[in-house]
């Protein structure tokens, strides 16, 4: 069954918020506000989360995993190379000196944390991505875009809601 | 008080102004680039000469095996810390005035680290054996000494360089999307399209972006501190008089922030003029950076006093001899210039009128950096020329013109990289300036509305009482 994509552009966050609230409360068959609606904005605006409903961010789990893994592997690497000295005389000094190795472990911890955080960001944010079916360069300038995916039957109702809230522009495209 | 930025700037104008900077800077841009190229050529010439003739031409020899190359390495590493200060520390502290200026500070971090890394190769002399710096085992599977601060240094600098490049790039993605959307065609369009990774500013992207930026910022702060602390252990872990100092790690970190902030003032003034950023890099923001620099200058001065006092009261004779040697020996002119530039000149920043006087602040920032360069040199050379034993003393071994030429050339190298970056990538963060303008205008509207509401509530209370 074919789907329709609609992108409505608004002047500011207040107008966009009104539309999103109405879409979330209205019960339109063939349209699910939680899954089929995306808000695009030129700036990071935490209030968008409030009116869109909170969605979990999982990047920090990547961070934790990456930092711990890299720190542990780093320490193991350094310690295993020092373990080579088990077969050699070391004059009574510790073969694996914990305090001195902490410096490098710390650096590995940070290195892994940063790299895996960025990897997590790309995974969680869905980047790199192809252009979505509808995109307006105005969204990266000064307008707020609301992109919805809906069935043919719901498209008309959605368009009416967008028009009622004085959308600056409505783009439409048929997709799968 | 004047506002940091005009709150009524249209978002489209912010895009336009920054995008224009990529296309049509003032002519001064090309003049700066030309001068930088000439300066860099001097450095390249000296390096080629040193490469062909051997390290003898640099006049580096025992006991004075470290001099300007290592001092420059520390200087450039230090310079990089201001980017972290502005982008990470002030980000976490919600100081939004950093928004128009943090991007170039981050770029400065990256390019100064690259310049610093170059000095490792230069100091090595046998550049073709640079791979010796990598940790790998020899034919008997004995690995390098992991307990050596030099190895820690290599690891810390690599971590810092790669993390700051990632931080710079990730923070730039929304702006790259703006560039992509506004370029018609050509290599720039292709580059921005590739680098923007298909960013569209969706709520999902912003949500994850915010968390990522904050997390990486949290990592960068301890990383920056660790990098310069580790650089300080190159000296402090040794037994040399004048270098074996407990307070070196905080002293190095404070010095790094100090020189970085001074460099930010210089570059702020240059970029403001060259790219016509007068509306974004405003005088009230300059004043804030100047005040921050002054505060750090005082911390650095205090740590200097701590170091001198600790040496003096320790009654460690070789340690004292090095300090006296700095103050009245052949290095005295440089030592006192360092003290003057690092601890006296900053007081010019206390004069309110001068804080926003561009020529004065530009001159002050250059003097501060001169002082900070000399500081690094005064850490390295006086100790090595006046070691424990008199037969090791060598007070007449000065850096040759080849050393000076390479150090001079490194400034050209840095400027070429930095100005090249500013011409290709937006040096003012467009989306963050929009956020700043948006949130500040909201606050202003709220502040305007509040007295009226307050008055209404008061009136109601009076009516209720009646």
pTM of the predicted model as reported, rounded to 2 decimal places: 0.90
Q: Over 80: is that where the pLDDT of B123 sits?
A: yes
CA distance B388 to B87: 43
Q: Which of A47-51, A110-114, B3-7, B321-325 has the lowest mean pLDDT?
A: A47-51
Q: Is A151 near chain B, with CB under 8 Å?
A: no
Q: Over 80: is that where the pLDDT of B433 sits?
A: yes
- Confidence at residue B336, expressed as pLDDT on a 0 to 100 scale: 96
- Confidence at residue B85, expressed as pLDDT on a 0 to 100 scale: 75
Query: What's the pLDDT tens digit per position in B359-397?
Result: 999 999 999 999 999 999 999 988 888 888 888 887 777
**Contact call for B137 and A125, based on CB within 8 A:** no
- Confidence at residue B147, expressed as pLDDT on a 0 to 100 scale: 86
Query: What's the pLDDT tens digit per position in B15-54?
Result: 999 999 898 889 999 999 999 999 999 999 999 999 999 9
Q: Which numeric CATH code is attached to A3-56+134-175?
A: 3.30.70.120
Q: Over 70: is that where the pLDDT of B328 sits?
A: yes
Is-contact B235 B294, C-beta < 8 A? no
**Contact call for A40 and B201, based on CB within 8 A:** yes
Q: Over 70: is that where the pLDDT of B454 sits?
A: no
Query: How far does B3 lie from chain A, in Å, by closest CA?
Result: 21
Q: Over 90: is that where the pLDDT of A160 sits?
A: no
**Contact call for A100 and B159, based on CB within 8 A:** no
Query: What's the pLDDT tens digit per position in A72-90?
Result: 999 999 998 888 766 666 6
The full set of domain ranges for chain A reads: 3-56+134-175, 59-125
Please give the mean pLDDT across all residues of chain B: 89
Name the residue of chain B whose CA is nearest to A94's CA: B147
Query: What's the pLDDT tens digit per position in B343-353?
Result: 999 999 999 99
Name the residue of chain A whose CA is nearest to B159's CA: A111
H runs (alpha helix) in A5-97:
13-25, 47-52, 59-82
**Contact call for A118 and B166, based on CB within 8 A:** yes
Please give the mean pLDDT across all residues of chain A: 85
In the predicted model, what is the mean pLDDT of residues B284-288? 92
Residues 26-45 of A with CB under 8 A from B: 38-45
- Confidence at residue A86, expressed as pLDDT on a 0 to 100 scale: 66
Query: How far does B116 lie from chain A, in Å, by closest CA?
Result: 19
The full set of domain ranges for chain B reads: 21-133+147-433
Q: Topology of domain B21-133+147-433, per CATH?
A: Formate dehydrogenase/DMSO reductase fold (1.20.1630)
| Local confidence band at B300 (pLDDT 50, 70, 90 cut-offs) | very high
């Amino acid at each position: 069954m074919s789907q329709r994509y609609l992108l409505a552009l608004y002047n500011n966050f207040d107008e966009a918020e009104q539309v999103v609230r109405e879409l979330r409360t209205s019960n339109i068959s063939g349209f699910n506000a939680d899954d089929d609606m995306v808000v695009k904005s030129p700036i990071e605006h935490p209030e968008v989360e409030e009116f869109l409903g909170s969605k979990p961010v999982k990047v920090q789990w990547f961070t934790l995993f990456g930092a711990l893994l890299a720190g542990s592997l780093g320490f193991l690497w350094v310690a295993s190379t020092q373990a080579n000295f088990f077969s050699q005389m070391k004059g009574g000094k510790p073969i694996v000196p914990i305090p001195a190795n902490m410096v490098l472990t710390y650096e590995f911890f940070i290195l892994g944390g940063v790299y895996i955080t960025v990897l997590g960001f790309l995974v969680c944010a869905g980047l790199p991505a192809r252009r979505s079916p509808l995109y307006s360069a105005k969204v990266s300038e000064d307008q707020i875009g609301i992109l919805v995916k809906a069935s043919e039957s719901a498209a008309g109702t959605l368009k009416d809601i967008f028009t009622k809230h004085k959308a600056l522009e409505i783009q439409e495209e048929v997709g799968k | 008080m004047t506002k940091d930025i005009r709150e009524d700037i249209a978002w489209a104008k912010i895009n336009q102004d920054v995008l224009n900077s990529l296309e049509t800077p003032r002519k001064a841009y090309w003049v700066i680039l030309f001068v930088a190229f000439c300066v860099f050529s001097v450095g390249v010439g000296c390096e080629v000469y040193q490469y062909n003739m051997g390290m003898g031409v640099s006049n580096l020899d025992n006991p004075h095996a470290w001099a300007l190359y290592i001092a420059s390495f520390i200087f450039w590493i230090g310079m990089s810390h201001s980017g972290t200060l502005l982008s990470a520390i002030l980000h976490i502290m919600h100081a939004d005035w950093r928004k128009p200026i943090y991007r170039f500070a981050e770029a400065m971090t990256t390019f100064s680290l690259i310049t610093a890394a170059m000095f490792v190769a230069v100091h090595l002399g046998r550049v073709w054996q640079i791979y010796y710096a990598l940790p790998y085992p020899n034919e008997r599977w004995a690995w390098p000494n992991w307990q050596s601060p030099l190895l820690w240094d290599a690891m810390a600098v690599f971590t810092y360089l790669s993390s700051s490049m990632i931080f710079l790039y990730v923070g730039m993605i929304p702006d790259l999307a703006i560039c992509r959307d506004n370029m018609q065609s050509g290599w720039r369009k292709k580059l921005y399209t590739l680098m923007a990774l298909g960013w569209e500013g969706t709520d999902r992207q912003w949500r994850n972006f915010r968390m990522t930026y904050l997390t990486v910022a949290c990592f960068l702060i301890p990383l920056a501190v660790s990098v310069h602390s580790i650089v300080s252990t190159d000296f402090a872990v040794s037994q040399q008089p004048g270098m074996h100092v407990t307070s070196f790690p905080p002293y190095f970190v404070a010095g790094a922030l100090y020189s970085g902030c001074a460099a930010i003032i210089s570059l702020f003034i240059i970029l403001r003029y060259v790219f016509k950023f007068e509306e974004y890099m405003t005088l009230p923001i300059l004043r804030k950076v100047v005040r921050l620099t002054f505060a750090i200058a005082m911390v650095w001065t205090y740590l200097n006093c701590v170091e001198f006092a600790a040496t003096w009261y320790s009654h460690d004779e070789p340690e004292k001899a090095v300090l006296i040697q700095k103050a009245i020996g052949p290095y005295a002119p440089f030592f006192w210039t360092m003290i003057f530039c690092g601890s006296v000149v900053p007081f010019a920043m206390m004069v309110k009128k001068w804080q926003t006087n561009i020529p004065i602040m530009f001159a002050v920032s250059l003097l501060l950096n001169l002082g900070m360069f000399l500081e690094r040199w005064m850490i390295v050379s006086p100790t090595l020329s006046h070691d424990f034993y008199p037969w090791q003393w060598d007070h007449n071994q000065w850096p040759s013109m080849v050393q000076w030429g390479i150090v001079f050339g490194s400034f050209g190298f840095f400027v070429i990289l930095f100005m090249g970056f500013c011409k290709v990538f937006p040096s003012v963060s467009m989306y963050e300036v929009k956020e700043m303008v948006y949130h500040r205008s909201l606050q202003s509207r709220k502040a305007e509305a509040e007295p009226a509401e307050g008055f209404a509530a008061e009136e109601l209370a009076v009516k209720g009482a009646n």
